[in-house]
Structure 1
């Protein structure tokens, strides 16, 4: 059992009330962390006000050195982080190692950017009244940043928010998903060891009340959220005039035109559609294939998907592991059933794995109607919908019919 305390302004704090961390593959608890609340956020903000003064007074080079040291520490603990990611997220060990490497690169990129924060001059004398005057601006740290992250990339998405904020001289309060708080708390350990001013960093596991306190507090200057469109909409209505950064969901599509490379499109569909059991904001969910290539593409895709190895995410050769929670398996099963009732056809999968009921079989559904949830909403599951089209304008209309953004791919020559 992994036991962690929460981090409030450099102080490790324990509480009686806990959040259990469940291993998605076995559905058994593997960790426990304190359950934060609004009072913890208040304390973190009070300390962050002091921490901001400390970190903003550091030189750009000093912040660069701290983040580079953090990258080295993370590198030395890479396998520990990777195995913890498997336990809390359920992603495969290979996917977990990739996430750790991306987090290291994010630290290095952020460290380098700390040295590139500059300003600009303006030709004031180009104005009739500008003789003898000079104009310029510089960029300065903004203050306290509230960062809220989802379950699927708990380390690297935390890093996307925390590392650039620290590089720019800001204090950060991080709320990870209550499902995956372990690696974000381990990240707090790394940052403190690297020399981040203690009061400038907090990591508070918790539920919606913690997030609400972090987004509405008047001392917070920036809110950065990655997660669902529904929650993003709520946050956007709450924050007022704060700076707001939202990275929300998607219903990403591929168009395979009649002159495209079928096998390449198949490989990229599998790579993009089934990684982390489809629980990626830019996961390939819909594929629109020109009718001349449709049968060939579908045949090849089914053959390729049948070769995916599902099972224990700790095994080196596993391609697809469990979804995060039973409720998510039930939801996607309902969506597939709805699509089938409206005329769709299951080409592969469509059910939980008989051997491992925490895993949803890699699924292909064809002829998915436009009015089904599987076509319109974000599936966040190992399911790819494949539909034929006659005219490219029709395919583009289908892609653009989604209310989501983020990503689309086009295969053409």
Structure 2
């Protein structure tokens, strides 16, 4: 494990440390150097040189660096996976999946490095444009600040770092203070692959580091994935620069009366309890047509009770711990509030013993009133709400009755009903006969309302990490 911070390609050890805690046991598995505001200022100065070096490389040369990095990551996949288990608490199978996704994100970013182009603009279509020809180019912005959360420390870092490097930008990354190990390992891989060292800094730290990264006038883009609360703070304090935000959701599944109940149950289990529900597109709310409601609840309860809960390093574990005991306690309070307001607990709702109290048993709560936190806020926990509906329009209103709008899954065989949801649901993605937790890493990914601003996916992120430069020739 790397425990030093990475400052402009140099590994730097600091006296102040950040403890990295294994969520399953509470054991401190590493202590990582803690960055300061001064480190940010140093990194930004070095990044200016890194930007000059990286942007001077040809698109093919940047492609080669990122492809070499993907091969190195592939060779070390199991080491990365075990690190993810230790710092996040996700199961070893989930960790391996994240590593494979990160490899694909890196490859897609490498490929996009060779496709960054422009467009001819017909200047002479304007009355004053006679004898003029124009086109625009896309050029790197310069310095990108990236801030990532704890739940996918490798792939979500990759979604910011790799496209930004593909354009020729220098990047300063602040991973979550809870999960800095895997991002530092990523830095090691990128340097070994031949990245100009000044073009990358990885600075584990707290809010003071994040504030310095987002407010500095030499930073041209801030890309943040995390909570709505912090996203709002960043938006206010960033100043005149691009801000890209992915702020989570309380995503829904809708099962219409003609939908595939068995598949809807399967996707609810997969989407509601993977990574202990700590995914921004986790299935949190399920709206089931009243004709299928009782049967769906019965089948879902059976499937959820069959999940194996416990040690995330075990190959057959399905659900591991949440990131900390305090998060379990918070969600239990939300469940209690919902029950007090008339909801019904179907299964779960309690932590799994004293020794592993960071593990919350997979939970189903039905008939949850819409005024409760469990319905309205982002639970970020292995908890699924199941409520009935009668009419399609009612289901659409229930989905939209949220301040968030990231993705929604709709199960129906009727193309007209599918299009009704596609047209009317307020979300960044509508998935028909698939759960809202599905994401292919090259697709445009992001939300509306308080779910964020902008889109990720290498091709679409590059739009934010580049500036358009207009060129006009007068040929008269």
Same fold (TM over 0.5): yes
Q: Which residue of 1 aligns with 2:271?
A: 272
User: Residues 80-99 of structure 1 correspond to what in structure 2 (within 5 A)?
Assistant: 80-99=79-98
Q: Can you list the C-alpha shifts for 1:361-386, whole angstroms capped at 9, x where unaligned?
A: 00000000011000000000000000
Q: Unaligned regions of 5+ residues in structure 1, if any?
A: none
Q: Which residue of 2 aligns with 1:360?
A: 360
Q: Which residue of 1 aligns with 2:243?
A: 244
Do structure 1's residue 134 and structure 2's residue 126 form an aligned pair? no
Q: Which residue of 2 aligns with 1:372?
A: 372
Q: Which residue of 2 aligns with 1:75?
A: 74
Q: Which residue of 2 aligns with 1:335?
A: 334
Q: Which residue of 2 aligns with 1:22?
A: 21
State the TM-score, normalized to the length of structure 1. 0.99
* Alignment partners' CA distance in 2, 1:353 and 1:128: 73
Runs (4+) off by over 4 Å? none
Superposition deviation, residue 128 in structure 1:
2.4
Q: Which residue of 2 aligns with 1:396?
A: 396
* Alignment partners' CA distance in 1, 2:294 and 2:29: 45
Greater shift, 121-130 or 91-100, is seen at 121-130
1:74 alignment partner, SS class: helix
* Alignment partners' CA distance in 1, 2:58 and 2:356: 53
Q: Which residue of 1 aligns with 2:435?
A: none
Q: Which residue of 1 aligns with 2:200?
A: 201
Superposition deviation, residue 387 in structure 1:
0.5
Superposition deviation, residue 129 in structure 1:
2.5
User: Residues 157-176 of structure 1 correspond to what in structure 2 (within 5 A)?
Assistant: 157-176=156-175
Superposition deviation, residue 241 in structure 1:
1.5
* Alignment partners' CA distance in 2, 1:255 and 1:71: 37
With over 3 angstroms needed to count, the CA separation of the structure-2 counterparts of 1:3 and 1:76, relative to structure 1, is closer
1:308 alignment partner, SS class: coil
* Alignment partners' CA distance in 2, 1:205 and 1:189: 15
Superposition deviation, residue 356 in structure 1:
3.1
* Alignment partners' CA distance in 2, 1:399 and 1:265: 16
* Alignment partners' CA distance in 2, 1:234 and 1:119: 34
Kindly indicate whether the alpha-carbon contact (under 8 Å) linking 2:2 and 2:184 is maintained by their aligned counterparts in 1: no
* Alignment partners' CA distance in 2, 1:231 and 1:359: 26
Q: Which residue of 2 aligns with 1:110?
A: 109
* Alignment partners' CA distance in 1, 2:19 and 2:289: 48
Superposition deviation, residue 358 in structure 1:
2.0
Kindly indicate whether the alpha-carbon contact (under 8 Å) linking 1:143 and 1:170 is maintained by their aligned counterparts in 2: yes
CA RMSD of aligned residues (A): 0.8
Superposition deviation, residue 3 in structure 1:
5.3
* Alignment partners' CA distance in 2, 1:102 and 1:33: 25
State the TM-score, normalized to the length of structure 2. 0.86
2:6 alignment partner, SS class: strand
* Alignment partners' CA distance in 2, 1:84 and 1:31: 11
* Alignment partners' CA distance in 2, 1:128 and 1:292: 63
Kindly indicate whether the alpha-carbon contact (under 8 Å) linking 1:3 and 1:32 is maintained by their aligned counterparts in 2: no
Superposition deviation, residue 32 in structure 1:
0.9
User: Residues 170-189 of structure 1 correspond to what in structure 2 (within 5 A)?
Assistant: 170-189=169-188
Kindly indicate whether the alpha-carbon contact (under 8 Å) linking 2:290 and 2:389 is maintained by their aligned counterparts in 1: yes
Greater shift, 390-399 or 92-101, is seen at 390-399
2:356 alignment partner, SS class: coil
Q: Unaligned regions of 5+ residues in structure 2, if any?
A: 414-476
Q: Which residue of 1 aligns with 2:52?
A: 53
Kindly indicate whether the alpha-carbon contact (under 8 Å) linking 2:368 and 2:386 is maintained by their aligned counterparts in 1: yes
Q: Which residue of 2 aligns with 1:147?
A: 146
Q: Which residue of 2 aligns with 1:382?
A: 382
